[in-house]
Chain A
Amino acid sequence: MFEEPQNGGGNPSERARAETALRRSRGASGRAPTPSRAPSACSSRIPVRPFWGRPRALSAGWPTPSLHPYTPPPPGPWPRSAPALLTPPPSSSPLPEPGRGRGPRGRGRGQRLSRGPPRPIGVRLWVELSPPPAPPTGSGTQRAWRSRLSDAPGPCSSLQDQAMELEVRRVRQAFLSGRSRPLRFRLQQLEALRRMVQEREKDILAAIASDLCKSEFNVYSQEVITVLGEIDFMLENLPEWVTAKPVKKNVLTMLDEAYIQPQPLGVVLIIGAWNYPFVLTIQPLIGAIAAGNAVIIKPSELSENTAKILAKLLPQYLDQDLYIIINGGVEETTELLKQRFDHIFYTGNTAVGKIIMEAAAKHLTPVTLELGGKSPCYIDKDCDLDIVCRRITWGKYMNCGQTCIAPDYILCEASLQNQIVWKIKETVKEFYGENIKESPDYERIINLRHFKRILSLLEGQKIAFGGETDEATRYIAPTVLTDVDPKTKVMQEEIFGPILPIVPVKNVDEAINFINEREKPLALYVFSHNHKLIKRMIDETSSGGVTGNDVIMHFMLNSFPFGGVGSSGMGAYHGKHSFDTFSHQRPCLLKSLKREGANKLRYPPNSQSKVDWGKFFLLKRFNKEKLGLLLLTFLGIVAAVLVKEVSSVSAWPPIVWDVRSPCAWPPRLGSEAHLCPAATPSRK
């Protein structure tokens, strides 16, 4: 029926080996040691995280990362330093027990198990996490990925390859069974997802909170609330969206059925990001389920607790064959990308976005890329600085600046700088208290590599306030830089941290030029009392989205498509747009096999008169209103003629409107009453 025989698959023994490898990798996760990640233990967190995600059985042949936790990149644009780290380090370190996120059942959180030596931030993490902006030509990161994608891998890699292939095939078989398609099933799965979020709220909140060192309040209002809102929105509207939409017809297709039927695409791969590890993984998942697809989810390996909790909880609530989680790092993702999918949804940075798209091109897979960029924030002279600074402070330092649509830098006239600095400083104090480090509302940087990257952005800059850092807890205080030179490093890459540079410009024209000279950002913020100025900014620049007189809010409405343009991404999602992203809009035209005579016109042999008729049929668009109008006119004429007839023949009896009779229309004239046998004569 819905089975799709897959060609290939290797001989049984190979398959068996692959299965064993997969099982082993799954089994390994059960034994994987996890250090305690309770939110309160933030400050005691070790700066290096255990390496997880690669099963030992398959790890041979890969460079073993050195024990040295971090090699500072040589000076120069950031990604250039990647190749240095990609060469196998000379020393060999014992591999810690690998942990793979699948089914880590029965492991208590916070349970301290014996652990191998601290795992350095190794090759894979470095590559995966390459920061958003990258030079247009192949950066080291890309080269590394590309070589992995194209290289003929050794035997162990091909084993893993097969393991992935098996997983993808299992999901595809589940999709082909057709059970993900009925509306009822989709609603049921979405309800199950909602139940998961509600019932296991505590576990989820704790996992996310420990990943990003966040208070659970923040987790709830930044992530969980969105997911719940999106599920409710889908449940409410899905029945309407899945129905076929009739379309306008022309005369040629007047009598046919023409409609657009949304259809699931097939197997969708969703690659999540670590900065909002829950919402950026689950929100696309909601759209993919709603559209009736099977889904393979790859949460970010950097937000490992969230990845683990998802791997544990999702199979308990959702269909286990249709929606699966594959956890792992760059290596697993690389293997995964070799497989064929029907859509790939990626959230992350531009450099990896290119790699994803290139891998997708091999199978002609459509992609949605949600990338980042430097989102400018222009402050006009004519505005209430108190309010402006509050709003910016909130948006910038939320999640410790690790937000893809956070205002990246401020453009304003030089004279405003001091006031802005002072007001932001006041607001920071109000929001996070005197001792920011103690505030439960202020997060930490995700890992040491990012911490060092952000530190390097501060070099040589004029720090107006902030700038305090603590490597042990990866704390960076809310920082503002003034008089920033656009050529410095902090203005060359997406900051993704709590540093806010202010670049002075002379006027709005210069600001517009400044924005247009750079890559198209994901968001643009303009503050002004003057609505004309805001409109002008919108007209003369381009960006994924715009918010005037506020920050971030355009993300919050599910009536809005969320997505980038140019280097900030392609495709959009949220609400109906998610559903559309994961659906194929299939046009259907259904005709009857009768009325063949009408088709004579188009069949050869041809003549000029046929062309003229063809023109008439193709160019005249048919719609019900027009036809209705025509019909009404016609009826009007008939009525007029009738009335005239009646009034001119005075000998005729008056018209009787018999509403009880099925033949009440057209009105019977007295003498014709017998023509309608069903009617009872009602004339007195």
Chain B
Amino acid sequence: HFGRPRRGSPGHPVQATPSGRMDPFEDTLRRLREAFNSGHTRPAEFRAAQLQGLGRFLQENKQLLRDVLAQDLHKPAFEADISELILCQNEVDYALKNLQAWMKDEPRSTNLVSPLDSVFIRKEPFGLVFIIAPWNYPLNLTLVPLVGALAAGNCVVLKPSEISQGTEKVLAEVLPQYLDQSCFAVVLGGPQETGQLLEHELDYIFFTGSPRVGKIVMTAATKHLTPVTLELGGKNPCYVDDNCDPQTVANRVAWFRYFNTGQTCVAPDYVLCSPEMQERLLPALQSTITRFYGDDPQSSPNLGRIINQKQFQRLRTLLGCGRVAIGGQSNESDRYIAPTVLVDVQETEPVMQEEIFGPILPIVNVQSVDEAIEFINRREKPLDLYAFSNSSQVVNQMLKRTSSGSFGGNEGFTYISLPSVPFGGVGHSGMGRYHGKFTFDTFSHHRTCLLAPSGLEKLKEIRYPPYTDWNQQLLRWGMGSQSCSLL
């Protein structure tokens, strides 16, 4: 996503550092670190106030946000509401409701060697958190991590995507008014600015984007040994078994594929099914697309557009793969690509090599579940995997014998609406997880604390040298089944 040429950073006048080097971020970062060190982000009241501010931002700017989302991605209000505004609000409310419980020290069990000690895990903010957001859900993927970072008591540097310009502007200009500016900053810019910022010492980096940039971010993080969460993408397979109702499957697959014009990291990327199923699926998909978007999808208010020319051109070349069964039209001036289904696609073609990230659905034929599983396991672990079948045996087999960030049986990415479920990839689709309490945990260091009584030295006597056989037996017994080491 760092493909854009360098742009000025209107939010931050470039300043010369004392050394004479131009570094626009040094001041901001120093300010934030001082604020963090002063400790005023730590009290629960402060965190709650920040979250309430975030909630107010969402409430008071509802229309503005819908407008900029429409401007950036031509997002229908329905999609903007359910995938961005409501989900963000949901996270804010959930965090506010549970903040006290999350922040509490977690008591842990102790063993006989330290029977009288108080033992607990303290959740501690990391410090300075850097959130790098993408453009496809410019609000959701920016604010949901932000909620957790603020709830955990961190100072946050937020970098919205420079590609979704409308949202970027609102996040840079309006959002800071609702938050404590001493602990929160929005930085603007493209890959170059991001690279520059990554040179600085940060305490946590949260990145959403492509695996290619993910590698760059992780490599940059090694310099200061900064922990990272990478939310990347991948080609999410969607297996359709012979034993299912094609119309129902078509409804569900089409909706999840063409949602946000296919620019969703968890969208089903390609369909795996038998040639017979394909025959039954195609008319069903055709009727679904007509029902969803009318006879002329270009004039439908329910279909978005591609974010920019670069992505549009990339997608247009993908239309040339295989044979177009449904759709296939495109319009450059509008950056419109019709909901498309491709058949007779070869594994080696570009459309099966890269993440599609657009309203194109290739169908690849396999003969059986086993072949499908083998096909999936041959590739990088995807972010999401979908299996459709009336037979729970087939679904369970799929679940058991493959690996992916998450799994949907007869369903798309509805689980994203559940804050109780962690969201995150595995292998090439990312590392780390968030949503709900998982975001809070991601941005908290779990510090182990053990407070022993300052007296009662007799109890400790057994561990001191000179060591004897008797001490050893006693220790062994005392630790019982509990693990222990004198390291």
Contact = CB atoms under 8 A, between A and B. Distances in A.
Contact of B454 (A361, A549, A560, A562): A549
Max chain A Cβ within 10 angstroms of own Cβ: one of B291, B292, B420? B420
A555 B487 contact: yes
A226 B485 contact: yes
A263 B417 CA distance: 22
Interface in A255-280: 256-258, 260-261, 263, 265-266, 276, 279-280
B421 A258 contact: yes
Contacts of B417: 250, 252-253, 618
Interface string B459-480: 0100111111101100110011
B415 A253 contact: yes
B153 to A, nearest CB: 12
B453 A589 contact: no
Interface string B118-141: 010110101100000000000000
Contact of A354 (B222, B252, B465): B222
Interface string A558-576: 1111100111011110110
Interface in A14-44: none
A248 B377 contact: no
Contact of A593 (B292, B410, B421, B457): B410
A364 B201 CA distance: 21
Nearest to B431: A366
B463 A394 contact: yes
A318 interface: no
Interface stretch (A46-54, A602-610, A637-645, A650-658): A602-610
Nearest to B214: A364
Contacts of B457: 386-387, 390
B24 interface: no
Interface string B437-459: 00000000111111111110100
Interface in A228-272: 229-230, 232-233, 236, 247-250, 252-253, 256-258, 260-261, 263, 265-266
B119 A560 contact: yes
B203 interface: yes
B225 A354 contact: yes
A547 interface: yes
Contacts of A550: 114, 117, 450, 452, 460
Nearest to A543: B447
Contact of B450 (A223, A554, A615): A554
B487 A220 contact: no
A512 B300 CA distance: 63
Contacts of A283: 485
B214 A604 contact: no
B82 A223 contact: no
Given A531-B451, A604-B300, A575 B483 contact: yes
A542 B124 contact: yes
A619 B464 contact: no
B229 to A, nearest CB: 10
Interface in A423-462: 430-433, 439-442
Interface stretch (A307-315, A326-334, A397-405, A488-496): A397-405
B280 interface: no
Interface in A336-376: 342, 350, 353-354, 357-358, 360-362, 364, 366, 369, 371
A529 interface: yes
Nearest to A257: B409
A538 B223 CA distance: 27
B65 to A, nearest CB: 14
A530 to B, nearest CB: 9
A218 interface: yes
B427 A403 contact: no
Name the residue in B79, B113, B119, B485 with the highest tally of chain A Cβ atoms < 10 Å from its Cβ.
Answer: B485
Contacts of B255: 599, 602-604
A225 interface: yes
A623 to B, nearest CB: 9
A565 B126 contact: yes
A542 B445 contact: yes
Given A258-B415, A618-B417, A557 B454 contact: no
Interface residues of A, number: 136
A269 to B, nearest CB: 15
Interface stretch (A1-9, A93-101, A502-510): A1-9
A113 interface: no
B486 A556 contact: yes
Interface in A443-485: none
Interface stretch (B103-111, B143-151, B176-184, B359-367): B103-111
A57 interface: no
Nearest to A138: B223
Contacts of A604: 76, 78, 255, 292-293, 300, 302-303
Given A229-B482, A560-B121, A593-B249, A611 B81 contact: yes
Interface stretch (B12-20, B163-171, B320-328, B396-404): B396-404
A544 B410 contact: no
A528 interface: yes
A553 B117 contact: yes
B22 interface: no
B109 A599 contact: no
Interface stretch (A155-163, A579-587, A628-636): A579-587
A223 B222 CA distance: 31
Contacts of B222: 354, 357-358, 361
A222 B232 CA distance: 42
B388 interface: yes
B481 A232 contact: yes
A412 interface: no
Given A5-B378, A225-B476, A390-B464, A253 B418 contact: yes
A516 B14 CA distance: 30
Contact of B110 (A391, A441, A557, A618): A557
A433 B467 CA distance: 12
Shortest 4 CB-CB distances between A and B: which pairs?
A: A558-B483, A226-B485, A606-B78, A590-B409
25 contacts: A221-B471, A233-B483, A253-B415, A258-B421, A261-B399, A357-B222, A358-B219, A364-B211, A364-B232, A383-B454, A432-B466, A441-B465, A542-B127, A547-B451, A554-B449, A556-B486, A557-B109, A558-B483, A559-B108, A565-B124, A589-B415, A589-B421, A599-B251, A604-B293, A611-B78
Given A136-B223, A556-B113, 11 more contacts: A1-B370, A4-B378, A225-B476, A226-B485, A248-B418, A558-B482, A558-B484, A567-B224, A590-B409, A604-B76, A611-B81
